[in-house]
Chain A
């Protein structure tokens, strides 16, 4: 009996290890390939990314983990020699950071309202938020486009930032966190004569600090990865974020593409390493649509 246990645990461990390798491989490969020289990239992947004008000379594809010679040449080329990628990186930041900050701010006030007062109308509104949260881009982009046109903000960053700020995801998740704050805490503050705003800022927000962080991480990844909105709402090539721009790197610069792809991962990977526990907590709490 005991032997059997150990055996099945061993099997599970091996299975987990295989899965883990598969999950890590694309990320690790991208990072390690970014430290290869362009000539090595060409000899490894020439077959794939060769174009009629490319003039690559390689017979086989050689997916390699470890560079022959580690070099930062691609980073130098992408980040120092020309400002193009830095500008696109900045474009991404300038879109995403305001969305994260203001979405969380707007949501925290709204979530307080949903937590503090219940009623038929408000639970109706909350339900509507959930439905809105679940709508795919195919539905929400058309209204976003129309309103941007009327407000005259089409083709400017505002056409992405403003709808982003009011996206209901944070409201939903933060409400679920806030409803866990013991009611007695709010009640006793009220007895002490605190106003609603004071209860909100002095009691509610400090209690939700980790929740706010985990929601901010989730919103950040969502928008850092965005492609659909800038494609439709930002026609201007200069203001495209790096996510869209990366796909337009042409076949002659694959080494550079690996390096810039790595640069693009860095902010979200750093957030992940720093806030994994918060992230997990945030995801776990999003786990049911009701109440």
Chain B
């Protein structure tokens, strides 16, 4: 009992803050999502959610965000594994390469969007290159290619972090196992799929969750590149939230926030299950 009180003492500042700034107001958000207005306070249960699912702006934002995540998350995971594996080889300048790969995470997005604008403008450097090869110019930010511009910025920024996670995962693989495989004459490819990937599965899970969350945050890049009103394909969920904040429609905001919270919890739960399934013969 005494230890319980002591632990509570140490935990209380954090718990109090989390309670005040996250849990209690989130409870209110859930409540708001179930009533018809802050004034009248009639319970309408699922009405707000049904409205949200019929809201074309929300649907478009959800579709764009989903599309971007489907594109970005696998690339962020696979390319980071490639980088980590490359840095396992015995090559010169290894630690410098690690520094270089990691450096973008320390550069604020706001600082480099200018370069992206120069590269991907209609009259920009990339299009000059395309002309050299006889291809047509592409209006990168004002066409269906716009997600690619943001994707490159996203990968540039996030690959280093993911790579470090995979490097840590790779270093945890028992050396003996790989040595045995070498003696048995296993190919690099076999070693990767049969041994390394098995041991990396918890890391793959974590990086997937992390990249998924980061891909939801990609609003920041879009906003800094194109402002409040981007090309349709770049209209993200956070754009929808910002616009709804402007009109202060609490019911819409709350319902959207609750939906996203539920989606996140489901995704996280699924990935946890997936990890249990893959990792069960590795741990212990």
Residues in chain A within 8 A of chain B (CB atoms)? 8-9, 12-13, 15-17, 19-20, 22-27, 29-30, 33, 45, 47-49, 60-61, 63, 106-107, 109-110, 112-114, 116-117, 119, 122, 125, 129, 131-132, 134-147, 162-163, 165-166, 168, 171, 196, 200, 221, 224-225, 227-228, 231-232, 242-244, 246-247, 254, 257-258, 261-262, 264-265, 268-269, 271-272, 276, 279-280, 283-290
Q: How many residues of B contact A (CB 8 A)?
A: 95
**Which 9 pairs, one residue from A and one from B, show the smallest C-beta to C-beta distance?**
A166-B17, A143-B25, A113-B10, A284-B168, A110-B14, A117-B7, A261-B111, A136-B216, A113-B11
Q: A63-B118, A63-B119, A247-B113 are in contact. Are A107 and B14 (CB under 8 A)?
A: yes
The total of interchain contacts (Cβ-Cβ below 8 angstroms) comes to: 273
- Complex Cα distance, B24 from A212, in Å, reads 29
Indicate if B199 sits at the interface (CB-CB under 8 A).
Answer: no
Q: Is the CB of A284 within 8 A of B7?
A: no
Residues in chain B within 8 A of chain A (CB atoms)? 3-4, 6-11, 13-15, 17-18, 20-22, 24-26, 28-29, 83, 86-87, 89-93, 96-119, 121, 123-125, 128, 156, 159-161, 164-165, 167-169, 202-203, 205-206, 209, 213, 216-217, 219-220, 223-224, 227, 237-238, 241-242, 245, 253-254, 256-257, 260-261, 264-265, 268, 272
Q: A9-B89, A147-B24, A287-B206 are in contact. Are A61 and B124 (CB under 8 A)?
A: yes
Q: Is the CB of B28 within 8 A of A26?
A: no
- Complex Cα distance, B151 from A166, in Å, reads 31
Q: How far is the CB of B226 from chain A (nearest CB, A)?
A: 10
- Complex Cα distance, B282 from A238, in Å, reads 55
Partner among A13, A135, A163 whose Cβ is within 8 Å of the Cβ of B92 = A13
**Across-interface contacts of B206 in A (CB, < 8 A):** 286-289
**Across-interface contacts of B261 in A (CB, < 8 A):** 135, 139
Q: How far is the CB of A290 from chain B (nearest CB, A)?
A: 8
**Across-interface contacts of A286 in B (CB, < 8 A):** 165, 206
Q: A109-B10, A147-B25 are in contact. Are A261 and B112 (CB under 8 A)?
A: yes
Q: Is the CB of A142 within 8 A of B91?
A: no
**Across-interface contacts of A247 in B (CB, < 8 A):** 110, 113, 223-224, 227
**Across-interface contacts of A146 in B (CB, < 8 A):** 25, 28-29
Q: Is the CB of B165 within 8 A of A147?
A: no
- Complex Cα distance, B209 from A163, in Å, reads 23
Q: How far is the CB of A5 from chain B (nearest CB, A)?
A: 9
**Across-interface contacts of B227 in A (CB, < 8 A):** 247
**Across-interface contacts of A242 in B (CB, < 8 A):** 110
Partner among B25, B99, B123 whose Cβ is within 8 Å of the Cβ of A144 = B25
**Across-interface contacts of B26 in A (CB, < 8 A):** 143
**Across-interface contacts of B11 in A (CB, < 8 A):** 109-110, 113-114, 122, 125
Q: A232-B245, A257-B114 are in contact. Are A27 and B119 (CB under 8 A)?
A: no
Return 19 A-B CB contacts under 8 Å, by A number.
A9-B89, A13-B89, A23-B160, A26-B107, A26-B112, A27-B103, A27-B112, A48-B121, A109-B13, A136-B264, A138-B260, A168-B18, A196-B6, A221-B106, A268-B107, A283-B164, A286-B165, A287-B165, A287-B206
